[in-house]
Chain A
Amino acid sequence: MNIIACVKQVPDTEAQIKVKADGSGIEEGQIKWVMNPYDEFGVEEALKLKEKNGGDVTIVCVGPARAMETIRTALAMGADKGVHICDPAFDNADAFVTANALAAVIKTLPHDIIFCGQRAIDDDSGQVGSMLAEALGLPQLTLVTKLEFAGSSVKVIRPIEGAQLSIETALPAVVTCQKGLNEPRYASLPGIMKAKKKPVDVKNAAAVGIATDAKAKVAKTVPPPARPPGKIICGDEPAQKAAELGKLLREEAKAI
């Protein structure tokens, strides 16, 4: 099978995010960059499919030069090769531009199934998977927690509010992954050594050949609204504290 996994490089979940004084974005200086956690589920699922059914896993990533490290991480986990779409023209890409860039490359590669994360934890947008599916004219299965491969189709579980859906789709298809799908593996030391020799094709915007103007643009980045300082509830006994808390929730916060 020909399996594609899309990965994005994002700040580590622990990263402190500081907004630039002019509101034009965030300070990138101190940030440690990692693979988007939801993309780890996609890479893991891709590798599991390959191990069971044979085939080949290709990593596709849009990102600046530093994102090569994340592609290497995926290769060290066991993927076979990578495509790195790298050009300053993509620095301000929105989900639509990113999805079109990914689609332009994926169209040139054989593909039976394409994995994305359900969302990237930097922009938190959760759009690229669906937009990619549309650009490729393929069905999409989003927020998947279980996947069974059955030759020319897949069967997945998708939790929705208050229920779980079981859905079957003909391949090729785009699948977006969330926690629960699998336990992503760590790269082994031999894996890391091997990854250095695996091929990564670097493409600039001209080679991708799509329009790069964003349709939705973050005009201004601001710190989160400040929360008023909280109250610590005093009292000698748990019962006293509970009574005071109940009263405040009722009378002050009007929350119960």
Chain B
Amino acid sequence: MAKGVMIVAEQRDGALRKISFELASTARKLADQSGDEVSAILLGAGIEGLAAELGKYGVDKVFVGDNAALEPYVTEAHAAVTAQIVKDNDPAIVLFGASVQGKDLSGRVAAKLAGGLATDCTDVKLDGGNLVAIRPMYAGKCFGEVVFNSAPAMASLRPNVFPAAENAKAGAVTKVDVAVDAPKSKVLEVQKDTSGKVDLTEANVIVSGGRGMKGPEGYAILEELADVLKGTVGASRAAVDAGWRPQKDQVGQTGKVVSPNLYIACGISGAIQHLAGMSSSKCIVAINKDAEAPIFTKADYGVVDDLFKVVPELTAVCKKLVA
């Protein structure tokens, strides 16, 4: 019978990504309720050494597929090996990250296994030993509780929502023989973002600016605040469409869905499509000169004033606080 919780870990350039620890900790919590094992799938080339790190976060056993064909990530190769490891080990639950890679992989693996998948979940729990996955739908305007008619039950977890906690376990390594057909896709080039900033979907702090920034120069004060808080700058669609910020910075229904600890919205009115992308943030601050702006209905803290006056003051205050 299907048993245990398996995670599909994610690494890039020889380092585990934060989502892998979030997955491991969540899997540990679920497995402890039923006294089961947590296993992990880790694929790439020259990555065997990373398995021990997963052990630190509650993983009992790591299946390592170490092969040049698995680096860099290519969907077909990773999906084939992942599905095979799942089949061979028959876990009851499989957890993926709802990162770009996890989203790309999970659907493909679920289709191979003819199993049900709930994506971008913000909570998971057991009900009578069965997985129930809770996920925002309609851009967070309601939530669905998903149950599964197939084994394994599969879910992908929204980055930054589930806590990662150290919990040392064996992390014993089992090497897996990898046989992959030559994939039809090939990565030609990886162009790294040189800003040194974490991606919005992984940022703990986001300072976002909208049309109220008046132009691209306006963002300098947001960059300063973000630097002090070790955060990343985001934008509304109005700012992106005006060409002030790149597409990758857009938060919202047709941009990124983010869940930072702290989201500071500056000169953003809070249109429903913007809220769609940031309402799962833990603490929301709005700085807007219009007291009627809808963003204030979502904000934990609101400042009604000119952002060009408030933001530099806030930066000065934060500098002292974090010093």
A residues apposed to B, CB below 8 Å: 11, 13-17, 19, 26, 37-38, 94-96, 99, 121-131, 133-135, 138-143, 145, 155, 158-170, 173, 178-180, 213-225, 227-228, 230-233, 238-239, 241-243, 245-246, 248-250, 253, 255-256
Contact flags B284-311 to A (C-beta < 8 A → 1, else 0): 1100000100001111111111100110
| B272 neighbours in A (Cβ, 8 Å) | 13-14
Interface of A is mostly: mixed
Are A127 and B106 neighbours in the complex by a CB distance under 8 Å?
A: yes
Chain B 181-193: CB-based contact to A (< 8 A → 1; otherwise 0) = 0011111111111
* Interfacial chain A residues near B132, Cβ < 8 Å: 219
Q: How many residues of B contact A (CB 8 A)?
A: 98
Task: Across the interface, name the chain B residue whose C-beta is closest to A250.
Answer: B321
B138:A248 contact, CB within 8 angstroms:
no
With both beta carbons as reference points, the residue of chain B lying nearest to A130 in the complex is identified as B107
Q: Smallest CB-CB separation from B255: which chain A residue?
A: A179
Q: How far is the CA of A178 from the CA of B279 in the complex (A)?
A: 21
> Beyond A180-B247, A245-B301, A255-B261, is A19–B142 a contact (Cβ under 8 Å)?
yes
Query: Is B318 engaged at the interface, CB distance under 8 Å to the other chain?
Result: yes
Check A221/B107 contact, CB under 8 A, given A37-B253, A161-B100, A255-B262: no
Q: Does B244 contact A (CB under 8 A)?
A: no
- Which stretch of B116-124, B165-173, B214-222 is in the interface? B116-124
B248 to chain A, nearest CB (A): 6
User: Are B142's CB and A26's CB within 8 A?
Assistant: yes
Please list the 5 inter-chain residue pairs (A to B) with the smallest Cβ-Cβ separation, ordered nearest first: A216-B116, A130-B107, A215-B116, A242-B313, A246-B317
Q: Tell whether, in the assembled complex, residue A224 and residue B107 are in contact, meaning their CB atoms are under 8 Å apart.
A: no
Minimal Cβ-Cβ distance residue in B for A37: B254
Whether the Cβ atoms of B191 and A163 lie closer than 8 Å is yes
- Which residues of the other chain, B, contact A250 by a CB distance below 8 angstroms? 321
A-B contact count (CB 8 A): 270
Q: Are B186 and A167 in contact (CB under 8 A)?
A: yes
Query: Closest Cβ of chain B: how far from A196's Cβ, in Å?
Result: 29
Q: CB within 8 A of B147: which of A141, A217, A230?
A: A217
B82 at the A interface (CB under 8 A): no
* Complex CA distance for A26 and B206, rounded to whole angstroms: 32
Q: Which residues of B contact A145 (CB under 8 A)?
A: 247
Q: Which residue of B lies closest to A163 (CB)?
A: B192
A162 CA to B254 CA, complexed, in Å: 18
Within 8 A of A (CB), among B248-267: 248, 250, 253-255, 261-262
Q: Tell me, in angstroms, the Cα distance from A92 to B189 when the chains sit together.
A: 41
For window 63-120 of B, CB contacts with A under 8 Å fall at 72, 75-76, 79, 99-101, 103-108, 110-112, 114-120
Please tell me if the beta carbons of A13 and B142 are within 8 angstroms of each other in the complex: no
Contacts of B124-167 to chain A: CB distance below 8 A: 132-133, 135-150, 153-154
Complex contact A222–B184 (CB within 8 A): no
Interface class of chain B by DSSP? mixed
Knowing A134-B111, A231-B300, say if A163 contacts B104 (CB, 8 Å): no
7 A-B residue pairs with CB within 8 Å: A96-B115, A142-B103, A165-B189, A166-B191, A230-B301, A233-B301, A256-B262
Nearest B-chain residue to A158, judged by Cβ: B100
A171 to B110, CA, bound (A): 23
Q: Are A168 and B147 in contact (CB under 8 A)?
A: no
CB of A127 within 8 A of CB of B254, answer no
Q: How far is the CB of A62 from chain B (nearest CB, A)?
A: 16
By the criterion CB–CB under 8 Å, are A13 and B193 in contact?
A: no
User: Which residue of chain A is the closest to B144 with respect to CB atoms?
Assistant: A218
* A95 in contact with B137 (CB, 8 Å): no
Q: A164-B193, A167-B187, A221-B144 are in contact. List 15 more A-B contacts (CB 8 A).
A: A13-B273, A38-B254, A96-B111, A96-B114, A123-B137, A125-B119, A130-B105, A130-B107, A138-B184, A162-B199, A163-B193, A216-B117, A241-B305, A246-B314, A249-B283
> Once the chains bind, are B185 and A141 in contact (CB under 8 Å)?
yes
Contacts of B302 in A (CB 8 A): 230-233
Is B242 engaged at the interface, CB distance under 8 Å to the other chain? no
B201 in the interface, Cβ–Cβ < 8 Å?
A: yes
Pair A135/B300 contact, Cβ less than 8 Å: no
Q: Which residues of B contact A130 (CB under 8 A)?
A: 75, 104-108, 111
The contact of A218 among B99, B140, B145, B279, by CB within 8 Å, is B145
A159-B248 in contact (CB<8A): yes
Residues in A whose Cβ lies below 8 Å from that of B100: 143, 158-161
* Cβ contact within 8 Å between A121 and B138: yes
Is the pair B142, A215 in contact by a Cβ cutoff of 8 Å?
no
Per the bound structure, the CA–CA distance linking A163 and B120 in Å amounts to 21
Cross-chain contact A219 with B146 (CB below 8 angstroms)? yes
Most buried by B among A11, A161, A233, A243: A161
- CB of B84, distance to nearest CB on chain A (Å): 14
Which among B248, B297, B301, B306 is the interface contact of A248 at CB below 8 angstroms?
B301
**A241 with B283, Cβ < 8 A, contacts A95-B117, A127-B110, A166-B187 known:** no
- If A127-B117, A179-B255 touch, whether A169 touches B318 (CB-CB below 8 Å) is no
B112 near A134: Cβ-Cβ < 8 Å: yes
Known interface pairs A124-B120, A253-B300, A256-B229. Does A139 touch B283 (Cβ–Cβ under 8 Å)?
no
Q: Return chain A residues, CB-CB under 8 Å to B106.
A: 127, 130
Q: Does B316 count as interface, using CB distance less than 8 angstroms?
A: yes
Interface centre among A155, A169, A227, A230 (most CB of B within 10 A): A230
- State how many angstroms separate the Cβ of A130 from the closest Cβ of chain B: 3
